[in-house]
Amino acid sequence: MRRLVLLAALLGALASPTLAGTPRLTVFAAASLTDVFPQIDSHARYSFAGSNALAAQIRQGLPADDFASANVTLPDQLYEAGLVEKPILFTANTLVMIARKGNPDHLHGIYSLGGNSDLKIVMAAKGVPVGDYTRTVLAKANLSGLVGRAVSQETDVREVLAKVALGEADVGFVYATDANTVPGQVAVFAIPRQYEPKVNYAAAAVTSSPHLAAAEAWVKRLQGKTAQAKLRAAGFLVPGRG
């Protein structure tokens, strides 16, 4: 019996990713990926935040193996600086407007915002991908004046979502996948098609990673069938959309 127990323990140890020699990677990832990435790989160590803040940390030399951004601009800039390997597109998203639960302000879309100066509007700060997408939409709709009316400029999309879901703000702009994480807690409005921004996500291995081969394999894995199925189930889209 003792031999059987020891054998089972040995087999379990050999099956363990850590003991089998697979490194535990540190992944810097956009806040909008908070729920889905652990479903794709529960072994990795994650740091979720605004993509711009994570890119700045990589520039500062903070240790990371992979970077997954809610835009393509930041990974491309890091690539040009020699800080990450060549980025790949791995998914996409949609920007939406959200309002407080039950829509007590009787909003019906972005054009409801211009004539109501009492609304508390929250958005992500400039430089945060979702904040930049928001500004692009408002500029195309001739509603850029709303940027100056925002009651707060948040550091990532989940902070915007929380403010509206908790009733601390009336209106915000988030990704559709984030709105999906709080069903029934916010009212969701599509952005008019002619103003929809192209929201593609890109990922890259960090050049300074001590596990570069594993980090590159992790990025490639995001394009695989299993990862893509989990992304679709969470509401993410095929990259290149828009």
As a whole number, the mean pLDDT across the chain is 91
135 touches 144 (CB < 8 A): yes
Residue 14 pLDDT grade (very low, low, confident, very high; cuts 50, 70, 90)? very low
Other CB atoms within 10 Å distance of the CB of residue 73? 15
Which tens digits make up the pLDDT trace of 25-73?
999 999 999 999 999 999 999 999 999 999 999 999 999 999 999 999 9
Percent of the chain with pLDDT over 70: 90
237 touches 49 (CB < 8 A): no
Percent of the chain with pLDDT over 90: 87
Which tens digits make up the pLDDT trace of 143-201?
999 999 999 999 999 999 999 999 999 999 999 999 999 999 999 999 999 999 999 99
- How high is the pLDDT of residue 1? 42
What backbone phi and psi angles, to 5 degrees, belong to 17?
Answer: -55, -35
How many residues appear in the chain? Answer: 242
> Tokens 């040995």 — which residue?
10
Q: What domains appear along the chain, each with residue ranges and CATH number?
A: 2-92+198-233 (3.40.190.10), 95-195 (3.40.190.10)
